[in-house]
A = this chain, B = another copy of it.
C-alpha cells in the first residue's frame, strides 16, 4: 500500500501491490477479456456455445448447429468464427464440414479474471 508521502515514482514501482483504486486491469488484459465476453454477448452465440457444451461428445458439426438456432450456415459460421477468435471454441475442418469444440476452462478463466484482479 502506498503511504502518505510516497512519491509518484514509489507508487508506480509498487504496481503489484497498489491500492485498490490503482488496481485496474491493464489495456491488453482488459481488451482480451472484453473480446471473450463480447463473443458471448449475443443470444445466438450463447445458444451455439451452450449447444456444444451440452452435446454428447463435446463436439458439434456446423451442419447440426443451424437447425437448433434457426440460422443459415453462413450466419452460424460467422458467429462461430467470433467464438474461435475469442479462444472459447476450437474449429476442425473434416472433409466438407467444420467441427467445433469448446475450450475447457476458457469461460471460467475469464470470469475469474474480472473477479480476482
Contact = CB atoms under 8 A, between A and B. Distances in A.
Interface string A17-52: 001111111010011011101111111111101110
Nearest to A27: B43
Given A38-B41, A46-B33, A51 B114 contact: no
This protein's copies in its complex: 2
Interface residues of A, number: 45
A45 B49 contact: no
Interface string A64-100: 1001110000000000000000000000000000000
A37 to B, nearest CB: 4
The 4 closest A-B pairs by CB, nearest first: A38-B41, A37-B40, A23-B54, A41-B41
